[in-house]
Amino acid sequence: MNNQFPKFRAWVKSETGGKWFMSYPRWIDLENKRICTESGMQPKEFILMQDTGRTDKNGVLAYAYDICMLDSGYHNWVIKWHDDGWMIHQEGTPIYKPIPDNFIITDNIYEPSDERRKSAKEQRG
């Protein structure tokens, strides 16, 4: 039995500038819908993303709402919780599949990453 607590990251809206940024919460209070970011900020607006317990081909931990590419080259799969487990979902369709072993995280739906995109392209050759 796995007794580890899940890891989370959060897409957080800055109280001062109104910009959104990624953060890893120090603590989470789900009952009162509050978090505390690494910097000590307790934002009013945030979106939590739970880790899936899976890593991609590069050893990157996969979180909910990450976008991934498969060996087939199709890269519009989004990791989501569906029914009883983590799945990849083809946006705009009703298609859900179990997360395969051969995936590479390229982005997440909130924060596109040019570095991740470049790394994924290099992996494909």
Beta bridge partners of 21: 12
How many domains are there within the chain? 1
Does any domain span residue 107? yes
Averaged pLDDT, 94-98: 92
Does any domain span residue 86? yes
pLDDT band at 1 (very low <50, low <70, confident <90, very high): very low
DSSP-derived letter for residue 44 is: S
Does any domain span residue 3? no
Does any domain span residue 101? yes
CA-nearest of 61, 63, 71 to 103 is 71
Find the angle CA(30)-CA(35)-CA(38) to the nearest 5 degrees.
145
**Percentage of residues in the chain with pLDDT exceeding 90?**
56
pLDDT, position 73: 73
Residue for token digits 């060996």? 71
Per-residue pLDDT of 21-79, as tens digits, reads 999 999 999 999 999 998 899 999 999 999 999 999 999 999 999 999 988 777 789 99
CA-based radius of gyration for the chain: 15
- The SS3 assignment for 57 reads coil
Does any domain span residue 119? yes
Mean pLDDT, the chain, as a whole number? Answer: 85
**Cβ atoms < 10 Å from Cβ of 94:** 6
Is the model's pLDDT at 122 over the cut of 70? no
Is the model's pLDDT at 110 over the cut of 70? yes
Does any domain span residue 1? no
- Distance of alpha carbon 54 from alpha carbon 32, whole angstroms: 29
Amino acid at 79: I
- Confidence (pTM): 0.78
* Structural domain range at position 59: 8-124
